[in-house]
Amino acid sequence: MTRVLVTGGGGFLGSHLVERLERDEHDVVVARSADYDLTHLDDTARMFEDADAELVFHLAAEVGGIGANRANPGRYWYANLAMGAHVLEQARIHKTPKLVIAGTVCAYPKLTPVPFREEDLWSGYPEETNAPYGVAKKAVLVGAQAYREQYGLNAIFLLPANLYGPRDNFDLETGHVIAHLIRKMIETDERGEDVVLWGDGSPTREFLFVEDCVEGLVLAAERYDGPEPVNLGAEKEISISELAGLVADVTDFRGRIVWDTTKPGGQPRRSLDTSRARELFGFEAWTPLREGIERTVAWYRAARTAGVGEPRSA
């Protein structure tokens, strides 16, 4: 049994990881923002003192969709950079045996050739609407590599694709793409209205079911100890237009989908090369997109009926 600290352990990805670790009979410390503000070094130090962990997963982040990124560029840059820097420094001070850091696909350059390979991470600037967030996370990668080189800290850095699944953030301003579409279509359908979506639907994305991502995190923690970043994805690219049609089908949406081309659509294409994860620690995603969306819709409908379908806080 290992004592494990999970930052952001009360959030979407974190809660699923905590469940998996507890099922594997680890002693898990769940760090929530209500207890520790990781943008403050003193709080981060107190968290490490309280946890006394052998393994740390740093999942805490401040993030949202295109609208939230446009509204909060300074906050997202500062919060994610500060949290990453503080966690790295305290892991060094406390001689943490291993640190697993969750990065973001938003760190990749706007016009990265598809599929995104880890070697292309520095070949350009990220897409403008989420660049402050992506740059902050990429700086944490540099910090992890620097701390490894100077202090011998075993910090690994993973780059998950866009996540979705039960317990996602369904807030219409800050939620992830699939969760946003599910809630918007269900609520709009109940009002008998058409649904209006940003952009023209042409950008593509790759989506990773949350339980698949958890498997990747666990495998990497067990089997990978290198300095290079590693993609976690499903290797399935889909346009936002096709995705909207799929979500409409699963939710039985009866209205029209209207595209507001005065609004941005984000990065033109996103899809990951996951061969490094497969070769280094045997990771492959297994959940088909439609199945994952069906499970997410079922969870959201049940949570909404029970009155617990509000966005989660890490």
CB atoms within 10 A of CB 24: 12
Q: Decide if 133 is catalytic.
A: yes
| Two tokens, residue 93 | 């001070």
Contact 28, 4 (CB under 8 A): yes
- For residue 112, the 8-state DSSP code is P
Cis, bond preceding 115 (omega within 30 deg of 0): yes
CB atoms within 10 A of CB 150: 9
- Picking from 56, 65, 51, the residue whose alpha carbon sits closest to that of residue 84 is 56
Options 36, 133, 147, 300, the catalytic residue: 133
Contact 285, 223 (CB under 8 A): no
Contact 37, 78 (CB under 8 A): no
10 Å CB burial of residue 116 (0-12, 13-18, 19+) is: buried
Report, as residue numbers or ranges, the catalytic residues. 133
